[in-house]
């Protein structure tokens, strides 16, 4: 497993106070006795109260985690609802949430969860085994994430506070899957009455509750006074009285509203604005590592991408350092794998080097020694990062005789073309992990839908993917994933990874201890306002 | 009586236009490549997930059935439910139309307040420095993109001087007037630039008209000649132009609402088109069409009041 990476890009983003309080909130409290005193002393300066206004390009369209697709939806719902377990703040391990602990049978097939006595719904009712079962059964039958519980055989009530989940076969990522927001717990009567329809006013167990939700405008959240998780000052989180999530589509407007004090903060500030904002005292710029990788998509069934030597040459011809500097103002990290760097089982020894001489040699040895012209590289219109990547790639691929034409296409039309495998190459696409375990990502790249690139991995590779999904020994699993990443790099399997991007946040100076996990979840409940 | 018949005829024409438009919009938005389910799922679109979502959104029903549902609903004033936001389109219209209407009206009022004095002054000071300055002003605002002006206004009056709020529409009438001043001014300046040139030329033409020469010869005071005999005649073409510009303003509100983060129809329309929210695009287009048709009708009726010679 990866160690916590507080010191990665974004520097002091994860402040010690935030890290300590989250560590205290998680498992293993006793071991931190000395540090706890320090944290309590620091907590004395924390100010409770106030409402934080935060802007996103689009606010949640759905509050039912079974049907959420946008990242914003799921990261906001993570502040409203919780499951049995959740990802820890560094997304490197699963930590207790509604279940205060769990046990696993010897064969790895039965998981018994012990529900937290203090866990209550927003309406005050205690969380029971019946609520857990109703919610998980709904998530197993319905929605776009039902694959996450596909290997579950039964979900049974042992008593009011104990639930047993029995699997058909070992699933190494089952805890990570249960930590997904789609497996959040809602009251049984709400689940039953909602049925196949969509939850619009979810009664969760999270630190915030929904007060008002105006589609495409704003979402007002109030603090949940019954939240189970205690802050270092002994009182429950959250520190804030509430959070208002506002929709502000224009990036420049977000920045101006923060500088004018009308907004507390916003995410997804364009990289090009970062250098100027860093020097501006009217706001604080915080970057957090996130499990996100930008890549070029290529359609392997079309020439010249059907030749692996051409693909290898294309990857070798890309100077990823230049991409990072020009397209992300130096904030991203050059990619070395299709798996995100801050994610579990990322292979530090994998590499995607820049070697123009070798690239030219591979082109000469390929089916297309004279290169190829007229390749169409499409990007979603309006995507600055997609355009920057396309222009750089056009230049670098030109060096090895691949002449690329750049074409901007409406985002929805391009998504449809990608889904139908009707394209040559696409710029501006990225993968962001919604789950802390690489299981889903690897399935998507190797098994189905293989990113709609027509990639045909070897049978051996597919067997390794399957074995890694079932392997319960982390060390053996790591070996498998290490191998899988090397195979993908050699095959150049339909995506050419460029770089790992951090989450860029801009805040007013009085917002304190804001933290975003590598899965993108803002821990609003640990954030406080200095005035 | 004539007037009533004219208006009834125009209303009939309007209904035909709307019906044709409804059919066109319904099928055109579906002809554009793109599927709401695939767009929403993005890179995580697997056939299974897409199928689940399409079913949940009601997109797996045959298109003619969807059309029948849409037309039957629209006839009752029910515009269907937003595919993305899962709320009735009619409630989105109720929620967002007032702000857009206010913004467009406000922009027109500001445009008129800027145009009349500037256009008149430019015409009366023909070819003198003031006229040159006003013509320069017109060229500048015609050639400057409104989103850029909007951002500059935000930086200057919102952030640096702190005179106006940066975004938001306000709740009360007074708040609307205050909050929407910068966006309305941005839109109004663009329109007034065109109108000012038009009014100047039109006044110049009227100044040489016989009835004005006669008024002068009779020794009427200059001010009275301008207000009663010149402006009233000259302003007709400007009013026509202002009416036509309602379409431009409604279109422009799409950009301005995004820049100023205003929860109006325009910003909603943009996200609906990008996300292929068929119901919202259909419903909003109909509402826009009704709005523009009504304004054109009102413009024509307004002539009759400005110029008694025009009968409807």
Look at residue B212 and tell me whether its pLDDT is greater than 50: yes
The pLDDT of residue B249: 85
**Cβ contacts of A216 on chain B, cutoff 8 Å:** 85, 92, 263, 267-268, 271
Contact call for A410 and B85, based on CB within 8 A:
no
Give the separation between CA A96 and CA A87, rounded to whole angstroms: 9
A204 in reach of chain B (CB within 8 A): no
Regarding whether B45 and B120 lie in a shared domain, the answer is no
The pLDDT of residue A42: 52
Look at residue B1 and tell me whether its pLDDT is greater than 70: no
**Chain A: residue nearest B96 by CA?**
A217
Q: What is the pLDDT of residues B50-71, one digit of tens each?
A: 888 888 888 888 888 888 888 8
Q: Decide if A220 contacts A164 (C-beta within 8 A).
A: no
* Phi and psi, residue A10, nearest 5°: 100, -5
Give the separation between CA B249 and CA B243, rounded to whole angstroms: 10
Query: For the stretch A296-309, what's the b/e string if a residue is b when 16 or more beta carbons lie within 10 angstroms of its beta carbon?
Result: bbbbbeeebbebbb
Give the separation between CA A377 and CA A391, rounded to whole angstroms: 10
C-alpha distance from B146 to closest chain A C-alpha (Å): 14
Whether B244 is in a domain gets the answer yes
The pLDDT of residue A47: 94
Pairing verdict, β A242-247 and A218-223: antiparallel
Contact call for A249 and B49, based on CB within 8 A:
no
The residue of B41, B42, B270 whose CB has the most chain A CBs within 10 angstroms, and thus the best one to mutate to test that interface, is: B42
**Chain B: residue nearest A143 by CA?**
B52
The pLDDT of residue A19: 35
Report helix, strand or coil for A166: strand
The model's confidence at residue A43, banded by pLDDT at 50, 70 and 90, is: low
Regarding whether B253 and B211 lie in a shared domain, the answer is yes
Q: Which of A250, A411, A448 sits opposite B261 (nearest CB)?
A: A250
Record the tokens describing residue A303, joined without a space: 């020439």
The residue-averaged pLDDT of A141-149 equals 91
Last residue within a domain, chosen from B75, B104, B131: B75
The pLDDT of residue A10: 32
**Chain A: residue nearest B158 by CA?**
A260
Q: Which of A198, A416, A444 sits opposite B38 (nearest CB)?
A: A416
Q: Which of B32, B87, B154 sits opposite A256 (nearest CB)?
A: B154
H or E segment to which residue A55 belongs: strand A51-56
Contact call for A448 and B167, based on CB within 8 A:
no
The residue among B297 and A44 whose pLDDT is bigger is: B297
Measure CA B175 to chain center.
Answer: 21
Regarding whether B169 and B39 lie in a shared domain, the answer is no
Q: What is the pLDDT of residues A447-466, one digit of tens each?
A: 988 889 999 999 999 999 99
Report helix, strand or coil for A101: strand
Regarding whether B67 and B100 lie in a shared domain, the answer is no
Regarding whether B300 and B223 lie in a shared domain, the answer is yes
Look at residue B200 and tell me whether its pLDDT is greater than 90: yes
Long-range CB contacts (within 8 A, 24+) of A93-97: A93/A1, A94/A175, A94/A176, A94/A178, A94/A179, A94/A436, A95/A26, A95/A27, A96/A26, A96/A27, A97/A179
Regarding whether B111 and B70 lie in a shared domain, the answer is no
Whether B86 is in a domain gets the answer no
Whether B312 is in a domain gets the answer no
Of A294-298, A370-374, B26-30, B83-87, the range with the lowest mean pLDDT is B83-87
The model's confidence at residue B208, banded by pLDDT at 50, 70 and 90, is: confident
Contact call for B154 and A253, based on CB within 8 A:
yes
C-alpha distance from A91 to closest chain B C-alpha (Å): 20
The residue-averaged pLDDT of A133-152 equals 94
C-alpha distance from B67 to closest chain A C-alpha (Å): 22
Of A272-276, A477-481, B167-171, the range with the lowest mean pLDDT is B167-171
C-alpha distance from A413 to closest chain B C-alpha (Å): 4
DSSP A497: E
Angle at which helices A474-491 and A439-446 cross, to 10°: 30
The model's confidence at residue B311, banded by pLDDT at 50, 70 and 90, is: low
Give helix then strand counts, H and E, for chain B. Answer: 14, 0
Last residue within a domain, chosen from B29, B44, B75: B75
Give the separation between CA B275 and CA B273, rounded to whole angstroms: 5
Residue with tokens 């500048």: B140
Regarding whether B71 and B127 lie in a shared domain, the answer is no
Long-range CB contacts (within 8 A, 24+) of B218-227: B226/B120, B226/B124
The model's confidence at residue A298, banded by pLDDT at 50, 70 and 90, is: very high
Q: Decide if B92 contacts A215 (C-beta within 8 A).
A: yes
Whether B88 is in a domain gets the answer no
In whole numbers, what is the pLDDT of chain A averaged over residues? 90
Nearest CA-CA partner of A464 in A487, A494, A431: A487
C-alpha distance from A204 to closest chain B C-alpha (Å): 20
Look at residue A15 and tell me whether its pLDDT is greater than 80: no
Report helix, strand or coil for B226: helix
Give the separation between CA B25 and CA B46, rounded to whole angstroms: 29
The model's confidence at residue A485, banded by pLDDT at 50, 70 and 90, is: very high
**Cβ contacts of B50 on chain A, cutoff 8 Å:** 419
Regarding whether B43 and B150 lie in a shared domain, the answer is no
Nearest CA-CA partner of A123 in A237, A226, A198, A207: A226
Q: Would the CA dihedral through A194, A200, A205, A209 be positive or negative?
A: negative
Look at residue A36 and tell me whether its pLDDT is greater than 80: no
Contact call for B86 and A253, based on CB within 8 A:
no
Pairing verdict, β A110-115 and A503-507: unpaired
The residue-averaged pLDDT of A157-183 equals 97
The model's confidence at residue A22, banded by pLDDT at 50, 70 and 90, is: very low
Report helix, strand or coil for A361: helix
Give me the number of domains chain B comprises. 2
Contact call for A256 and B34, based on CB within 8 A:
no
C-alpha distance from A435 to closest chain B C-alpha (Å): 12
Share of chain A residues as helix, strand and coil, in percent rounded to the nearest 5:
35, 25, 45
The pLDDT of residue B121: 92
The pLDDT of residue A1: 30
Last residue within a domain, chosen from B75, B104, B120: B75
A215 in reach of chain B (CB within 8 A): yes
Look at residue A272 and tell me whether its pLDDT is greater than 70: yes
Regarding whether B138 and B256 lie in a shared domain, the answer is yes
Look at residue B244 and tell me whether its pLDDT is greater than 60: yes
Look at residue A431 and tell me whether its pLDDT is greater than 80: yes
Nearest CA-CA partner of A104 in A51, A164, A147, A145: A164
Give the separation between CA B290 and CA B25, rounded to whole angstroms: 14
Of A27-41, A194-208, A358-372, the range with the lowest mean pLDDT is A27-41
Residues in chain B: 312
Q: What is the pLDDT of residues B86-100, one digit of tens each?
A: 788 998 999 899 999
The residue among A229 and B222 whose pLDDT is bigger is: A229
Long-range CB contacts (within 8 A, 24+) of A487-490: A487/A457, A487/A458, A487/A461, A488/A337, A488/A338, A488/A445, A488/A446, A489/A315, A489/A336, A489/A337, A489/A338, A489/A350, A489/A351, A489/A352, A490/A312
Look at residue A122 and tell me whether its pLDDT is greater than 60: yes
Give the separation between CA A4 and CA A407, rounded to whole angstroms: 41
Residue with tokens 């009013």: B239
Whether B60 is in a domain gets the answer yes
Contact call for A215 and B87, based on CB within 8 A:
yes
Burial of A355 (0-12, 13-18, 19+ CB in 10 A): middle
Whether B82 is in a domain gets the answer no
Angle at which helices B181-207 and B89-124 cross, to 10°: 40
The residue among A19 and A474 whose pLDDT is bigger is: A474
Whether B54 is in a domain gets the answer yes
The pLDDT of residue A522: 97
Regarding whether B237 and B117 lie in a shared domain, the answer is yes
Measure CA A291 to chain center.
Answer: 5
Regarding whether B175 and B62 lie in a shared domain, the answer is no
**Cβ contacts of A67 on chain B, cutoff 8 Å:** 53, 56
Whether B181 is in a domain gets the answer yes
CA atoms within 13 A on the CB side of A228: 23
Instruction: Assign residue B279 the CATH number of its domain.
Output: 1.10.3720.10
C-alpha distance from A458 to closest chain B C-alpha (Å): 21
Measure CA A11 to chain center.
Answer: 20
Contact call for A431 and B41, based on CB within 8 A:
no
Domain assignment of residue B275, given as a range: 93-307
Regarding whether B98 and B211 lie in a shared domain, the answer is yes
Give the separation between CA B291 and CA A132, rounded to whole angstroms: 51
Give the separation between CA A224 and CA A242, rounded to whole angstroms: 9
Burial of B277 (0-12, 13-18, 19+ CB in 10 A): buried
Q: What is the pLDDT of residues A126-140, one digit of tens each?
A: 999 999 999 999 999
Q: What is the pLDDT of residues B245-295, one digit of tens each?
A: 887 788 788 889 888 888 889 888 888 888 888 889 989 988 888 888 888
ipTM score for this prediction: 0.76
């Amino acid at each position: 497993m990866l160690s916590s990476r507080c010191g990665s890009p974004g520097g002091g983003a994860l402040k010690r106070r935030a890290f300590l309080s989250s560590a205290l909130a998680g498992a293993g409290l006793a071991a931190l006795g000395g540090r706890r005193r320090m944290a309590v002393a620091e907590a004395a300066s924390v100010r409770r109260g106030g409402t934080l206004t935060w802007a996103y390009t689009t606010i949640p369209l759905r509050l039912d985690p079974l049907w959420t697709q946008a990242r914003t939806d799921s990261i906001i719902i993570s502040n409203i609802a919780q499951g049995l377990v959740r990802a820890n703040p560094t997304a490197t391990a699963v930590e207790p949430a509604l279940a205060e602990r769990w046990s696993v049978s010897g064969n790895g097939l039965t998981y018994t969860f012990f529900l937290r006595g203090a866990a209550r719904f927003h309406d005050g009712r205690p969380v029971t085994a019946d609520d857990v079962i109703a919610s998980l059964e709904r998530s197993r039958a319905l929605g776009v994430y039902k694959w996450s519980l596909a290997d579950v055989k039964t979900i049974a009530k042992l008593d009011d506070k104990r639930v047993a989940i029995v699997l058909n076969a070992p699933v190494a990522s089952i805890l990570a899957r249960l930590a997904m927001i789609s497996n959040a717990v809602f009251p049984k009567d709400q689940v039953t009455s909602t049925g196949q329809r969509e939850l619009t006013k979810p009664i969760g167990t999270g630190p915030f509750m929904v007060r008002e939700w105006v589609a495409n405008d704003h979402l007002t959240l109030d603090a949940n006074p019954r939240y189970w998780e205690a802050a270092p000052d002994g009182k429950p989180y959250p520190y804030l009285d509430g959070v208002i999530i506002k929709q502000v589509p224009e990036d420049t407007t977000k920045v101006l509203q923060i500088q004018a004090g009308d907004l507390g903060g916003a995410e997804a500030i364009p990289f090009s604005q970062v250098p100027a904002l860093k020097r501006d005292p009217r706001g604080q710029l915080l970057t957090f590592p996130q499990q996100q990788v930008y890549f070029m998509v290529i359609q392997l069934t079309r020439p010249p991408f059907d030749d692996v030597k051409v693909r290898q040459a294309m990857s070798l011809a890309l100077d990823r350092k230049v991409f990072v500097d020009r397209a992300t103002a130096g904030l991203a990290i050059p990619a070395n794998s299709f798996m995100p760097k801050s994610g579990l089982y990322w292979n530090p020894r994998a590499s995607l080097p820049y070697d123009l001489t070798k690239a030219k040699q591979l082109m000469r040895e390929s089916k297309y020694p004279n290169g190829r012209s007229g390749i169409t590289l499409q990007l979603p219109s309006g995507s600055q990062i997609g355009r920057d990547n396309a222009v750089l790639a056009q230049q670098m691929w030109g060096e090895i005789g691949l002449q690329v034409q750049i074409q901007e296409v409406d985002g929805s039309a391009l998504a449809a073309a990608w889904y139908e495998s009707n394209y040559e190459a696409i710029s501006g696409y990225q993968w962001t992990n919604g789950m802390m375990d690489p299981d889903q990502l690897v399935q998507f790249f190797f098994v189905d839908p293989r990113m709609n690139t027509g990639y045909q991995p070897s049978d051996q590779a597919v067997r390794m993917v399957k074995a890694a999904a079932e392997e319960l020994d982390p060390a053996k699993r790591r070996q498998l994933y290490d191998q899988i990443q090397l195979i993908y790099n050699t095959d150049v399997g339909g995506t050419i990874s460029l770089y790992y991007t951090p989450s860029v946040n801009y805040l007013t100076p009085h917002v304190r201890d804001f933290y975003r996990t590598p899965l993108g979840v803002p821990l609003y409940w640990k954030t406080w306002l200095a005035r | 009586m004539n007037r009533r018949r004219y208006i009834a005829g125009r209303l009939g024409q309007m209904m035909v236009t709307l019906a044709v438009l409804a059919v066109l919009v319904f099928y055109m938005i579906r002809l554009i490549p793109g599927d709401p389910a695939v767009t929403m799922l993005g890179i995580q679109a697997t056939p299974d997930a897409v199928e689940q979502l399409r079913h949940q959104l009601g997109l797996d029903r045959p298109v003619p059935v969807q059309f029948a549902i849409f037309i039957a609903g629209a006839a009752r004033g029910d515009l269907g439910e937003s595919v993305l936001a899962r709320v009735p389109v009619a409630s989105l219209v109720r929620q967002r139309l007032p702000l857009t209407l206010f913004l467009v009206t406000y922009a027109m009022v500001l445009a008129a307040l800027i145009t009349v004095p500037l256009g008149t002054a430019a015409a009366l000071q023909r070819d003198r420095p003031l006229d040159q300055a006003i013509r320069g002003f017109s060229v500048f605002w015609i050639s400057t993109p409104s989103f850029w002006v909007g951002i500059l206004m935000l930086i200057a009056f919102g952030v640096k001087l702190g005179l106006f709020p940066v975004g938001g529409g306000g709740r009360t009438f007074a708040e609307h007037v205050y909050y929407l001043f910068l966006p309305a001014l941005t839109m109004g300046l663009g329109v007034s630039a065109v109108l000012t040139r038009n009014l100047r030329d039109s006044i110049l033409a009227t100044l040489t008209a016989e009835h004005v020469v006669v008024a002068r010869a009779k020794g009427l005071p200059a001010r009275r000649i301008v207000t009663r005999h010149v402006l009233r005649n000259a302003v007709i073409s400007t009013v026509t132009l202002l009416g036509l510009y309602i379409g431009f303003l409604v279109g422009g509100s799409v950009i301005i609402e995004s820049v100023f983060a205003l929860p109006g129809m325009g910003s909603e329309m943009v996200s609906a088109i990008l996300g292929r929210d068929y119901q919202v695009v259909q419903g909003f287009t109909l509402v826009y069409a009704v709005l523009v048709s009504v304004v054109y009708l009102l413009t024509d009726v307004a002539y009759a009041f400005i110029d008694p010679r025009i009968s409807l």
